[in-house]
Structure 1
């Protein structure tokens, strides 16, 4: 599965240099992940489970600046699944110029609220993620 989420750069996204502040890109990619999850998971099943998905690592590379009024597209897909962790690739593209703005790898874990620990992925989720990775390749 591959999700595309569009975000228009607003004035409150800008820093003193009048381009998007680096911290805002973390918010943009988070919005992209939530949009991805909206499509990937059944909301009722997901929220009734004991599981949460904390981010444990973000590696972000800034490629070019974005400015007021730019239309950005956050592209999100799974790239790797381990026993307890999963990695997504997220790319932010300037829609008008087709220029990469940000590339990020985000890793999170399957975490049991009851056990208060990372746990192996349930089989149904693992299969769905593996299928999504295979479809994208």
Structure 2
């Protein structure tokens, strides 16, 4: 779907001098938002919007500062109301250096009822 380069910031570090685990979620969020910007209408309208229903992160090795990383997003499963987005955070210069992998389930909901809604066609098309 997308590969997003990101720079590790000094403020991302924790007391152990590596990227705090919560920042991995921020990196993934940034990549998903950049992907959403490429979707016509961004998968949003007056009736439906995406929400994160589940997040699974496997921390494989610490990211130390300074570092440049790439966040890779890919479709693992395309459903009627959701998409499971696989992810990998890798070293920008050597993608065999894996920092994190896992997936996020995004569900489109009806803004009025809060219930699951049909996946917008533009989103479905961008996942193909």
- Between the aligned partners of 2:124 and 2:60, the Cα distance in structure 1 is 34
Change in CA separation of 1:126 and 1:42 when aligned onto 2, cut-off 3 Å: closer
- Between the aligned partners of 2:94 and 2:82, the Cα distance in structure 1 is 34
What TM-score, normalized by structure 2, do the two folds share?
Answer: 0.89
Instruction: Find runs of 4+ consecutive structure 1 residues off by over 6 angstroms.
Output: none
Find 2:114's aligned residue among 113, 116, 129. 116
Name the count of aligned residue pairs.
Answer: 127
Aligned residue for 2:28, secondary structure, equals helix
- Between the aligned partners of 1:116 and 1:129, the Cα distance in structure 2 is 24
Aligned residue for 1:118, secondary structure, equals coil
Change in CA separation of 1:127 and 1:28 when aligned onto 2, cut-off 3 Å: closer
Aligned residue for 2:101, secondary structure, equals strand
5+ residue gaps in structure 1? Answer: 133-137
Equivalent position of 1:101 in the other structure: 99
Change in CA separation of 1:83 and 1:47 when aligned onto 2, cut-off 3 Å: closer
What is the CA RMSD across the aligned residues, in angstroms? 1.8
Equivalent position of 2:4 in the other structure: 5
Equivalent position of 1:88 in the other structure: 85
Higher helix proportion (structure 1 or 2): 1
Q: Is the 8 A contact 2:43 2:50 kept in 1?
A: no
Q: Is the 8 A contact 1:75 1:91 kept in 2?
A: yes
- Between the aligned partners of 2:117 and 2:29, the Cα distance in structure 1 is 23
5+ residue gaps in structure 2? Answer: none
